[in-house]
Amino acid sequence: MSGIRALPFCWRNVHMSKRALLRSTTVIQEWRIKHLSRSSCLSGVEPMQLLMPALSPTMTEGTIGKWLKREGDTVNAGDALCEVETDKATVTMDADEDGTLAKILILLQAGTREEAIIGLSKSQADRNTRRNCQCIHQQTDCSNGGRRRRLERCRNAQEIATSEPEASPAASEVSQEEIKEEPEKVRKNISPAVRQLLDTHNLDAVNIPSSGPGGILLKGDVLKFLDAGGKAATAQAPPARSSVTPSPVPVTPVTAPTAYQPQKTFVDIPLSGMRRTIAKRLTESKSTIPHAYASIDCLVDEVSKLRKQLKKENIKVSVNDFIIKAVAVTLKQMPEVNAKWKDEKIELLKEVDISVAVATENGLITPIVRDAPHLGLSSISDKVRELAVKARSGKLSPQEYQGGSFSISNLGMFGISEFTAVINPPQSCIMAIGGTQLCLDSNSKPSFYMTVQLSSDARVVDSVLASRFLDAFKKNMENPMRLGLL
């Protein structure tokens, strides 16, 4: 399109601030939209702008993962236009009305802010407004032809200006006469002091570069020539006149050693929307939340026995399902831990919703098991499996990962004995679960135990409250039957 090729801006070798760059990008985009109505893809129809929507309350920018429609495709209301990667999941963007996708302005780009213009469409009702299309094309072709002719004229003028003129015979004769007279002039315009230096060191004035006005040889020129290692003339007799000026002795330039340039031994990996959000939230958590840590060892022999009994009845539950249930019951017993810090005060939460960390290709995400205290082990197990499948495929809805009152991160299946987790704001606690290990109990019997570590916001859950919570959690894990975990 001619409107886009005629952009009056050049960004090469220009360094700008981020705010100025965004402002300039917006100006260019508005200029493109203004002139796109003249192109063949819109045929004189005023375009409708497709904006990047805010698909979640925490979304400030998104990444266009894939366009599901191509330029020129007919679009009906409700059709999926493209896939947008938010900070937590991948969501499809649907069309609001019928029309045609005329132009895609942003093909695949990370970090596109919400309400940014990503495409243009023309309405179904405006398809009959194509009368001035041929006229516009003719004007465009004429303007392009005139521009090409002007460029050719400039190019021809530049070639004529840069071409070297042929030397005339008269000019060559004058230059030869000047060459013949030059050594004689150098010898005549010499002061007595300079002549004495030349005779003393047996030097020829023609071979010494002069720096005086009108090419006069100065005493300083002779001294500089001697300091530079100038040699005496080979013959004592006065030099004969020559028709050609002797060429200066070529001096080999001394090249400075080149600076060491190390080879590039790294690869830059662009961040996805989820990775960027994780980095931002973890940095915010460690810099603004005072973390307090406490750990305890829990025996899991009773949990292992109960799992074997349930397996005989074709009920498959994991140790992680027991942990979720035990944490939920413990939070119900100690509601002061089920709280968060908000606006310089502690806010107690009514619902007990457990966030479970799930590893995906783009990073960790924490889908939520809602109302966990009132769910049985089988329901918790089914819910966790369903959420994990959605999380790994990027199909979680905002309601399935936003909120939560307590987080659990389990790395026991990776062979990690214990670790420390970072609080997921705005929550106040996260429990890190390690793998089971064999040890001897107080009666010298081999038993399995696991180490759990609680990271808490010291403003909400201090060390004493965290110790009481871990003690209650240990009792629930070591005696699962008495609390009705099924």
Give pLDDT, residue 13. 41
Give pLDDT, residue 352. 95
CA distance readout (Å), 1 to 9, 49, 69, 325: 16, 18, 20, 62
Give pLDDT, residue 115. 52
The DSSP bridge pattern shows strands 358-360 and 363-365 to be: antiparallel
The DSSP bridge pattern shows strands 99-104 and 90-94 to be: unpaired
Smallest CA-to-CA distance from 485 within 300, 337, 349, 312 is with 300
Give pLDDT, residue 178. 47
Domain 284-483 has CATH 3.30.559.10: yes
For residue 143 the two structure tokens come to 């303007």
Reported residue count of the chain is: 486
Give pLDDT, residue 210. 82
| Residue position matching structure tokens 């805010």 | 54
Axis-axis angle for helices 377-393, 319-333 (nearest 10): 110
Smallest CA-to-CA distance from 87 within 67, 69, 113, 115 is with 113
Strand partners, 293: 455
Question: With a threshold of 0.75, does the pTM exceed it?
Answer: no
Residue environment code for 457-479, b if the CB has 16+ CB neighbours within 10 A, otherwise e: bbebbeeebbeebbebbbebbee
Sorted by sequence, the CB contacts under 8 Å of residue 376 that are 6+ apart come out as 486
Average pLDDT for runs of 10 along the chain of length 486:
43 45 54 52 65 70 82 85 77 82 73 59 51 39 49 52 44 44 56 81 83 80 83 48 56 61 79 86 94 95 91 91 95 95 93 94 91 92 94 90 94 93 95 92 87 96 96 93 62
CATH number of 29-121: 2.40.50.100
Give pLDDT, residue 106. 78
For residue 248 the two structure tokens come to 């200066």
Give pLDDT, residue 118. 64
Axis-axis angle for helices 319-333, 463-478 (nearest 10): 130
Domain boundaries, the chain: 29-121, 284-483
Instruction: Please check whether residue 417 is in contact with residue 451, taking contact to mean a CB–CB distance below 8 angstroms.
Output: yes
